[in-house]
Amino acid sequence: MKNSIFKFGELPEFKKFTPENINKEFPSVIEQINLDFQNIEDFLSNYLNQKQLDWGEVINPLNEVNEVLRWSWGVISHLNAVNNSESLREIYSKFLPEIISLNNKFGQSKIIFNALVKLKKTNNFDRIKNRILDQEILEMKHRGISLEVNAQNEFNIISEKLGKLSTNFSNNVLDATNTWYLILNDKSQVDGLPERVLELMAISANDHLKKEGDVEGEIGPWKLSLDIPTYTAFMTYAKDRSLREKLYKSFVSRASHGEKNNSQIIEEILSLRTKQAHLLGYESWAELSLSTKMAKEIKHVEKLLEELRKPAFKSATNELEILEKFSKENGFPESEKLKPWDISYYSELLRKEKLNLDQEALRPWFPLNDVLKGLFNLSEKLFGIKVIQANNEAPIWNDDVLFFNILNKEDEKIASFYLDPYSRPESKRGGGMDG
């Protein structure tokens, strides 16, 4: 795999991970992982006869094969999330069942499970290693290691179904977000929007309509869409209440009707999660989830949520009353109540009038580079580290992506991370960070 795009232990050369290259090379990766796994099982089946097991002999080979799987599938999953396309979706969906099967194969290996249990019993490890072993053993139990063959087969089928449903769910949301739009031609429809928003919407409309020539934000047309930058700006500043309502309802009802309807998918996911939890001996998926968390019982979570809800609800009620009164003083109909699509708009007006706080006026004072500089200076003071931009040192998946190194007090590199600060139509998230 010398010339492969899958160069483990290095930063991925993202732009080489085309659907064609992945489809060509990833099967070899899976084949090698299966072979390595078989070798580990063969070794451990004999090694289990030893009176005392060694941490390095058991854990290190498992970590190595799991890291290869994590790294390789992680790159594909990451690109599917931040650089989504129809061809990449097909590749992701093609290999997803194999990845789920691999994970279940690892998690349901009796040999590995017995090795982990014996490793813990025959050694007096420190708290950290015992914690690692406890978590690994519990994870294998959650993968169905203790189930009978028929129950295990059912568990595996459910796992594959859940993986497919989860992928379909996120794809539907992305498609519904990107598909919906309105082309606005009347200046009154965008009244109240800041100049920067008008310009972005005009550029978007120009691209959509494939028009040539200069784009003028003040003249239009403008494309109204469900991407987060456009949505939040329009809900905050647009005076046209009917358009705010239409935009809000379209946003909250994404992927809830037509071919991209997630309603049935949600029902299936809930049903399958419950079945899987029951197979593992839990009363509910919530109980299964909490088995790995600090709050071990559902009632404790509900108690905490209620303790937060009471004061929060009281404050929210008071703030809404203030906003209702303010809206009436500023032309909102006396006979009507504020609706969800009114909250951001009147909240912004209230901030301007009562607090003399204008978010748009503040924006020029906080460009991305200055914000990052301030954040990194604060990090240096608090933690004694330096964050240095190093874009030329790392491959990226989009030209907007930034790369940073983290240095200690001796100027030695101790970590690195990517920052993807902008929302894009092909991204399932509105910017993000990976380290």
Q: Which of 260, 59, 92, 229 is nearest to 163 (CA)?
A: 92
The answer to whether 387 and 435 are in contact (CB under 8 A) is no
Per-residue model confidence (pLDDT) at position 214:
82
Neighbours of 79 (CB within 10 A): 23
CA 113 and chain centroid, separation: 31
Per-residue model confidence (pLDDT) at position 431:
43
Distance CA 373, CA 379 (A): 10
Instruction: DSSP for 264-321, please give it.
Output: HHHHHHHHHHHHHHHHTT-SSHHHHHHTTSS--SHHHHHHHHHHHHHHHHHHHHHHHH
Per-residue model confidence (pLDDT) at position 173:
94
| Backbone region of residue 363 per phi and psi (left: phi > 0; alpha: psi in -120 to 50; beta: other values) | alpha
**Token pair 């299966």 in the structure block, residue:** 34
Residue 415, strand partner residues: 406
Per-residue model confidence (pLDDT) at position 1:
55
pLDDT in tens, the chain (435 residues): 567 999 988 899 999 999 999 999 999 999 999 999 999 999 999 999 999 999 999 999 999 999 999 999 999 999 999 998 999 999 999 999 999 999 999 999 999 999 999 999 999 999 999 999 999 999 999 999 999 999 999 999 999 999 999 999 999 999 999 999 999 999 999 999 999 999 999 999 999 998 887 888 889 899 999 999 999 999 999 999 999 999 999 999 999 998 899 999 999 999 999 999 999 999 999 999 999 999 889 999 999 999 999 999 999 999 999 999 999 999 999 999 999 999 999 999 999 998 888 888 888 899 999 999 999 999 999 999 999 999 999 999 999 999 999 999 999 999 999 999 988 887 765 444 454
Per-residue model confidence (pLDDT) at position 180:
96
Distance CA 107, CA 142 (A): 8
Per-residue model confidence (pLDDT) at position 2:
62
Distance CA 4, CA 2 (A): 6
Per-residue model confidence (pLDDT) at position 430:
46
Residue 182, strand partner residues: 224
| Backbone region of residue 192 per phi and psi (left: phi > 0; alpha: psi in -120 to 50; beta: other values) | left
Report the first-to-last Cα separation within the chain, whole angstroms: 25
